[in-house]
Amino acid sequence: DTAVSQTPKYLVTQMGNDKSIKCEQNLGHDTMYWYKQDSKKFLKIMFSYNNKELIINETVPNRFSPKSPDKAHLNLHINSLELGDSAVYFCASSQGRSMGTQYFGPGTRLTVL
């Protein structure tokens, strides 16, 4: 059984479009994250939710809007896509707000043309 899953795995779209990436975890965790991995493989936190409450919101354009319908899901919606948004986006989850191990999804490779 997949612990943290993301859909789609690949997303190719035109500039200016709006797209969403979905994330689900079946680990029973209450904290979920979005990370962005750029073309140089550098990973950086974007958002974190704990029990559907936004607790981390790093310097990310407001075109990116996370949505957590319940604690098992954290979706990422991106408006007006730009070339620079091309990257791999990883969802992760952990238990609690403490220093628990974060488990990652398989990543979504977004390509903006």
Partner 1 sequence: AQTVTQSQPEMSVQEAETVTLSCTYDTSESNYYLFWYKQPPSRQMILVIRQEAYKQQNATENRFSVNFQKAAKSFSLKISDSQLGDTAMYFCAFMTRGSGAGSYQLTFGKGTKLSVIP
Q: Which residues bind partner 1 (CB under 8 A)?
A: 33, 35, 40-45, 48, 50, 54-58, 88, 90, 92, 97-99, 101-104, 106-107, 109
97-102 long-range contacts, CB within 8 A, separation 24+: 97/31, 97/50, 97/55, 100/31, 102/33
Percent helix, strand, coil in the chain, to 5, is 5, 55, 40
For residues 9 and 18, which CB has a smaller minimum distance to partner 1 in the complex? 9
For residues 46 and 112, which CB has a smaller minimum distance to partner 1 in the complex? 46
Give the whole-angstrom CA distance, residue 105 versus residue 2. 9
For residues 63 and 97, which CB has a smaller minimum distance to partner 1 in the complex? 97
Q: How far is the CB of 59 from partner 1 (least distance, A)?
A: 9
